[in-house]
Amino acid sequence: MEKKSARILVFSTEKISDPAIDMAGLLKLHYPPTVYTIAVPCSSGIKPRWIMHAYDKGFDGVFIAADGSDCTYGETCTEKTGHIVGITHQMMKEKNIDPARLRMAAICSVCSESFVKQIKSFNQYLLQSTKS
Amino acid sequence: MNKKLGVYICHCGGNISDYIDVEKVKAAVAGEDGVYLAKTTMFACSDATQKEMVEDIRSNNLDGIVVASCSPKLHLLTFRAVSERALLNKYNYVHANIREQGSWAHSDDKAGATEKAVSLVKAAIAKVRLARSLDPIIIPSKKAVAIIGAGVAGMRAAIELADMGCPVTLVEREYFVGGRVAQWDVMFTTNQTGKELVTRLYNEVIARDNITLLTGAEVVANSGSIGDFTLKIKVTPRYMKEKCDQNNLLKAIEACPVVVPDDFNFNITSRKAIYHNFPGEFPQYPVIDIKNCTRCGECEKICSSVDFSQQEQTVEVHVGSVVMATGFDPYTPAEGEFGYKLSDFVVTLPQFKRLTDINKDNLVYNGREIRNIAYIYCVGSRQSEGDNKYCSRYCCTSAIHASLEARNKFRNVNNFHFTRGIRTYGKQELLYAESLRKGDVYLQAYEENPPLVEVKDGQITVTINDIMTGGREISVIPDLLVLVTGMVPRADNSIASKFKLPKGRDSFFNEIHMKLRPVETVIDGVTISGACQGPKNITESVNSALSAAAKSYSFVNKGELALEPIIAGIDKDLCTWCGECEKACPFDAIKKEKQGEKEIAVINNSVCKGCGMCLPVCPVNAINLIAFSDREIESMIDALVSV
């Protein structure tokens, strides 16, 4: 049976992007129910092995809802999170996993609409890439 | 040993159970490894349910609980307190958010929402299985607070802390207190002058023995962390003795050959190297500006209070918390921006305010009597393409107030306001109404079609396509053009790097959460108040100062502090010291240490903020964050895909 929605793991951040994801719910901005969130303190603390583990276990995509320039831990967060994505992309290529199955976007604490838009677009991509 | 776990799934009235089949969730998780009891509850946060949980934990000797309800941002502390009342370590409680990220987000898909809730609860169970009992990190805390900046916010915070019995060191970089407010004349809504307000606060400050005020003082180094900050403060002397003969002083000022632009008047006037700001300044004795002084000795010959033998001192203070109250700078337009610097008759709003203060009977600037004044609003604010995207909020009110003051104080003044829409919120709307009533002219344009300023043969022409009259082109030839500028962060904000204070997108200091934790920063023990956090009027600055004072007091009043034990930990066996974690840590919490023959990384527990930036950079995976270890995260991932 054709999948209606892709299984997406979101790494959110406790102080910045997770409140935005909460607010998306509050505003009843719907997105696929197969999107699951694990909140961590800061997006620059996500280990590539966690992301790879998610693919191993059957997630179609991983989305990093990064702190961006709002990070309360410092200005280097964006650069460091980008570096994590870069390393993980390399690991994905080595395992023949499409790097586009990992996405990152800065989601501020009130960026609910942006989050939902990003997730819907990612879901579409993942469904199409699974078909092909 | 398998843990005995309790799981509580909340209806939240119908907020959850209208979309999620909570009974189905309960049935799906009841058989999970370790789950001893699973219950649904109408309101998990109600007193009755909390008591029931305490009773369940105690009577069944539960080792951990999962609460599946609303966002943990609302009730994390509630259920941690429940655990503690039941004598269960609070870190053995894990939360699953099935409302904001469950029933509400997927109210269009009940089956999907239910299935997701099962996964989220299973992931929480997986995490609580691995959760460890943790104790807060208890550290001693010095009962003293340093406040950086003795403007209105800093002085108000100092008075509040002092009255709570807390010693305060109030550090002011300038030689006079009062910050920007000292520069303003009559202010809305109280009609007090800035000087009066500053005088009142200064008198309160010096009346308190437990406030130490340092002027001409700058923090040059900071070490330590919450509970025990050590600040090194460089205090530059005034080169003047406290007791000063006023007659001789005036003669000495006159004799001083050095003339420099006067910062206090935003450079529209000049001053000497020996100077005071205004007659009611505080502390009430002058200063020699040693950077510009040529040491010619003329003042010394006249005034015996001049004392060049005074030496710079470095003072060390130990405090448990620090309040930042460093204020703002007014925006300085670029050369040519709306005619700035192209004419001597284009000034900024702060310059205009000083101008109306120092002129007494007639408004005269650069030898010209000023009658027709044009004001261009939002200069350097609300820039979709520039750096300052924000609205400074105070400037509309301030400009209208200043224009009314000019109209009331001087004869035949006509005001022409070129706006992008007036934002005089709250009571400030009364000023706008008064301005309209008195005949001020308001013209408006959108951002993409701003007023055009032409300077030709010394004449300024401001032209606008006024949207209030259907886009009609209207020109005004003013005697003076005032650029209504907003607030920007201090140009010299080096204090931020000394405390590693994060800044927001607007480059002002950043709070942890603008609504829920509005004066705390990610640097534990450092709070922020006033306009260093973002544009604020005086009322808002004092509100935040009082809030920061109360929060800082809460860090120091007990003499000890309990810190969240979510910090990084090093696996000593795996670590081979490469230095990558030290480089990644923005808080200097990681240091190299020799242990036996081996060099390894060690974490300073009271400095580590638990951000986790050190985790992914370790080439041998020797670092884990407590509560976010590989096992915990990966077991949650396993649980999420198990449904």
Residue B419 corresponds to which amino acid? Answer: T
Please report which confidence band the pLDDT of residue B296 belongs to, taking 50, 70 and 90 as the band edges: very high
- B503 and B483 within one domain: no
- B446 and B346 within one domain: yes
CA B220 from centre of chain? 20
Q: If you measure CA to CA, which chain B residue comes closest to A69?
A: B505
Q: What is the mean pLDDT of residues A87-114?
A: 94
CB contact under 8 Å between A22 and B71, yes or no, is: yes
Residue A2 pLDDT:
64
Pull the structure tokens for residue A49.
């092995």
Testing the interface with A: which of B613, B614, B620, B629 to mutate, by most A Cβ within 10 A?
B613
Instruction: Decide if A3 is inside a domain.
Output: no
Residue B139 pLDDT:
86
Q: By the 8 A CB rule, do A22 and B97 touch?
A: yes
Residues in chain A closer than 8 A to B634 (CB atoms): 50, 53
Instruction: Decide if A84 is inside a domain.
Output: yes
Q: Which residues contact B4 (CB under 8 A, 6 or more apart)?
A: B34, B36, B60, B61, B62, B63, B64
Residue B170 corresponds to which amino acid? Answer: L
Rg for chain B, CA atoms, rounded: 31
Tens digit of each residue's pLDDT (9 = 90 or more) over A22-46: 989 988 999 999 999 999 999 999 9
Higher per-residue confidence, B514 vs B494: B494
Please tell me which of the candidates A26, A47, A57 has its beta carbon nearest to residue B616.
Answer: A47
Which of the residue ranges A33-42, B245-254, B544-553 would you say has the lowest mean pLDDT?
B245-254
Q: What is the DSSP string of A34-92?
A: TEEEEEES-GGG--HHHHHHHHHHT-SEEEEEE-GGG-TT-TTHHHHHHHHHHHHHHHH
Please tell me which of the candidates B99, B502, B633 has its beta carbon nearest to residue A38.
Answer: B633
Asked casually if ipTM beats, i.e. exceeds, 0.95, the reply is: yes
Instruction: Decide if B580 is inside a domain.
Output: yes
Sign of torsion over alpha carbons B278, B279, B282, B285:
positive
CB contact under 8 Å between B633 and A26, yes or no, is: no
Residue B580 pLDDT:
96
Instruction: Decide if B507 is inside a domain.
Output: yes
CB contact under 8 Å between B112 and A25, yes or no, is: no
- B273 and B130 within one domain: no
Task: Answer with the one of B506, B537, B556 that is the final residue of a domain.
Answer: B556
CATH of residue B622's domain is 3.30.70.20
- Look at residues A76, A73, A70, A74 and name the one whose alpha carbon lies nearest to residue A107: A70
The domain total for chain A is: 1
Query: Looking at the predicted structure, is the pLDDT value of residue B280 above 70?
Result: no
Instruction: Decide if B87 is inside a domain.
Output: yes
Query: Looking at the predicted structure, is the pLDDT value of residue A62 above 80?
Result: yes
- Look at residues B318, B312, B349 and name the one whose alpha carbon lies nearest to residue B333: B349
Q: By the 8 A CB rule, do B18 and B34 touch?
A: no
Residue A32 C-beta-side C-alpha neighbours within 13 Å: 21
Integer Cα distance of B458 and B478 in angstroms: 11
Higher per-residue confidence, A92 vs B77: A92
Residues in chain B closer than 8 A to A84 (CB atoms): 616
Which of the residue ranges B88-92, B372-376, B518-522 would you say has the lowest mean pLDDT?
B518-522
Q: If you measure CA to CA, which chain A residue comes closest to B633?
A: A50
Residue B182 pLDDT:
93
Instruction: Decide if A56 is inside a domain.
Output: yes
Pull the structure tokens for residue B134.
């943790």
Q: Which residues partner with B375 through β-bridges?
A: B417, B482
Q: Which residues contact B212 (CB under 8 A, 6 or more apart)?
A: B167, B168, B169, B170
Q: B152-163 vs B538-556: helix axis angle to the nearest 10?
A: 40
Integer Cα distance of A3 and B480 in angstroms: 69
Q: By the 8 A CB rule, do B302 and B251 touch?
A: yes
Give kind and range of the element (H or E) at residue B390. none
- B442 and B386 within one domain: yes
Cβ–Cβ contact A16 with B under 8 A: no
For B188-206, letters b (16+ CB in 10 Å) and e give beeebbbbbbbbebbebbe
The domain total for chain B is: 5
Give kind and range of the element (H or E) at residue B311. none
Residue B410 C-beta-side C-alpha neighbours within 13 Å: 25
Integer Cα distance of B222 and B387 in angstroms: 30
CB contact under 8 Å between B586 and A76, yes or no, is: yes
Residue B443 pLDDT:
98
Query: Looking at the predicted structure, is the pLDDT value of residue B310 above 80?
Result: yes
Query: Average pLDDT, whole number, for chain B?
Result: 94
Residue B260 pLDDT:
96
Integer Cα distance of B539 and B521 in angstroms: 21
Give the domain range for residue B612.
566-626
- B458 and B370 within one domain: yes
Residue A71 pLDDT:
80
Query: Looking at the predicted structure, is the pLDDT value of residue B220 above 90?
Result: yes
Q: By the 8 A CB rule, do A39 and A13 touch?
A: yes
Peptide bond into B189 cis (omega under 30): yes
Residues in chain B closer than 8 A to A26 (CB atoms): 100, 104
B-contacting residues in A 69-98 (Cβ below 8 Å): 69-77, 80, 84, 87
Residue A132 pLDDT:
65
* DSSP tag of B2: P
Tell me what percent of the residues of chain B surpass a pLDDT of 70.
100
CB contact under 8 Å between B104 and A76, yes or no, is: no
- B323 and B178 within one domain: yes
- B76 and B179 within one domain: no
Pull the structure tokens for residue B553.
């007091």
Supply angle C-alpha B293, B297, B300, rounded to 5.
105
- Look at residues B601, B606, B591, B592 and name the one whose alpha carbon lies nearest to residue B624: B601
Q: By the 8 A CB rule, do B56 and B50 touch?
A: no
CB atoms under 10 Å from CB of B246, counted, come to: 12
CATH of residue A100's domain is 3.40.50.960
Query: Looking at the predicted structure, is the pLDDT value of residue B223 above 90?
Result: no
- B273 and B211 within one domain: no
Please tell me which of the candidates A33, A40, A41 has its beta carbon nearest to residue B109.
Answer: A33
Tens digit of each residue's pLDDT (9 = 90 or more) over B43-52: 999 999 999 9
Tens digit of each residue's pLDDT (9 = 90 or more) over B566-603: 999 999 999 999 999 999 998 899 999 998 889 999 99
Nearest chain A Cα distance for residue B237, angstroms:
35
- B362 and B441 within one domain: yes
Sign of torsion over alpha carbons B617, B623, B624, B626:
negative
Integer Cα distance of B176 and B194 in angstroms: 13
- The CB-based long-range contact list for B215-219 (8 Å cut-off, 24+ gap) reads B215/B150, B215/B172, B215/B174, B215/B175, B215/B176, B215/B177, B215/B283, B216/B172, B216/B173, B216/B174, B216/B175, B216/B287, B217/B171, B217/B172, B217/B173, B217/B315, B218/B171, B218/B173, B219/B146, B219/B148, B219/B171, B219/B495, B219/B498
CB atoms under 10 Å from CB of B82, counted, come to: 25
B368: left (phi over 0), alpha (psi -120 to 50) or beta: beta
- B590 and B527 within one domain: no
Cβ–Cβ contact A44 with B under 8 A: yes
Q: If you measure CA to CA, which chain B residue comes closest to A40?
A: B628
Integer Cα distance of B585 and B577 in angstroms: 14
Task: Answer with the one of B88, B114, B134 that is the final residue of a domain.
Answer: B134
Sign of torsion over alpha carbons B392, B393, B395, B396:
positive
Give the domain range for residue A64.
8-131
Nearest chain A Cα distance for residue B626, angstroms:
11
Q: Are strands B414-419 and B472-476 parallel, antiparallel or unpaired?
A: unpaired
| Phi, psi angle pair for B235, to nearest 5° | -110, 115
B309: left (phi over 0), alpha (psi -120 to 50) or beta: alpha
- B370 and B271 within one domain: no
Q: What is the mean pLDDT of residues B223-231?
A: 88
Task: Answer with the one of B449, B470, B488 that is the final residue of a domain.
Answer: B488
Instruction: Decide if A83 is inside a domain.
Output: yes
Integer Cα distance of B582 and B591 in angstroms: 6
A23: left (phi over 0), alpha (psi -120 to 50) or beta: alpha
Residue B5 C-beta-side C-alpha neighbours within 13 Å: 29
Instruction: Decide if A2 is inside a domain.
Output: no
- Look at residues A94, A35, A96, A95 and name the one whose alpha carbon lies nearest to residue A65: A35
Pull the structure tokens for residue B192.
């007090």
CB contact under 8 Å between B566 and A41, yes or no, is: yes
How far is CA B518 from each of CA B261, B539, B608, rounded to the nearest angstrom?
38, 16, 22
Integer Cα distance of B403 and B440 in angstroms: 9
CATH of residue B434's domain is 3.50.50.60
Residue B279 pLDDT:
67
- B523 and B613 within one domain: no
Instruction: Decide if B480 is inside a domain.
Output: yes
Please report which confidence band the pLDDT of residue B352 belongs to, taking 50, 70 and 90 as the band edges: very high
- Look at residues B71, B94, B9 and name the one whose alpha carbon lies nearest to residue B633: B94
Instruction: Decide if B139 is inside a domain.
Output: no
Q: By the 8 A CB rule, do A81 and A104 touch?
A: yes
Residue A109 pLDDT:
77
Residue B1 pLDDT:
58
Token pair 């448990």 is at which residue?
B320
Instruction: Decide if B241 is inside a domain.
Output: no
